[in-house]
Amino acid sequence: GPTQEAIDPVRYITNHSSGKMGYALAKAAMLRGADVTLVSGPCAIEPPPFVKLVPVVTAKEMFDAVTSVSYEQDIIIKAAAVADYRPKHIRGSKMKKTEDGSDLTLELERTDDILAYLGAHKKQGQFLCGFAMETEDLIANAKRKLEKKRLDMIAANSLRGEGAGFGGNTNVVTVITKEKEVSLGKMTKEETAAELLTMIAEARKV
């Protein structure tokens, strides 16, 4: 799901992620007998049963939660839409509109790159799968992310096209590894999760 980065006690920066894909993956893995830890941003979804839920709000909380358990995991799938930037200064009280009608400039700073950290600290035999959400040059950008962040697999998810994007019950995903790319076409998020887990299981046998 998303993260929320506070501006003041009232406002925050976030995105449109619903968390449905991540929750579908957690449920599918649980049903296959996996011991699942689900680190989740704020989502209006009932978590699947028999899954250890770790709720977080900010990108920093998600980084801390994921990295604290990452070394114990055989497979890590990072489907969350983590904020790339957060306000550099969080106001202690609600910001008021300026009396003279002037604009406001909000200074942002980078958040920790969770996927890059996981790739750099991957233990032997661990499988790391990321997600790439793009509006243009989907495959090229996903391939660069796969290599740069030392991933074993990436699910490239376009915001363009019917059945794709945030909030819906379907996805249009292309799965990319160093050896191949496979377009799954339009599927429900549950079907996408099942197919992705099957492909991970097959890749780990190689």
- Reply yes or no on whether 15 is catalytic: yes
| Residues ≥6 apart with Cβ < 8 Å to 105 | none
Note the pLDDT tens digit of each residue in 103-157: 888 999 999 999 999 999 999 999 999 999 877 888 999 999 999 999 999 999 8
CA dihedral 82, 87, 91, 93 (to 10 degrees): -50
pTM: 0.91
Q: Which helix (H) or strand (E) holds 25?
A: helix 20-31
Q: What is the pLDDT of residues 60-87, one digit of tens each?
A: 999 999 999 999 999 999 999 999 999 9
75, 48 Cβ separation under 8 angstroms? no
In whole angstroms, give the CA distance from residue 51 to residue 75.
Answer: 15
The three-point CA angle 164-20-186 to 5° equals 30
Choose among 8, 155, 161, 159: nearest CA to 87: 8
Choice among 15, 141, 157, 169 that is catalytic: 15
CA atoms of 197 and 195, how far apart (whole Å): 5
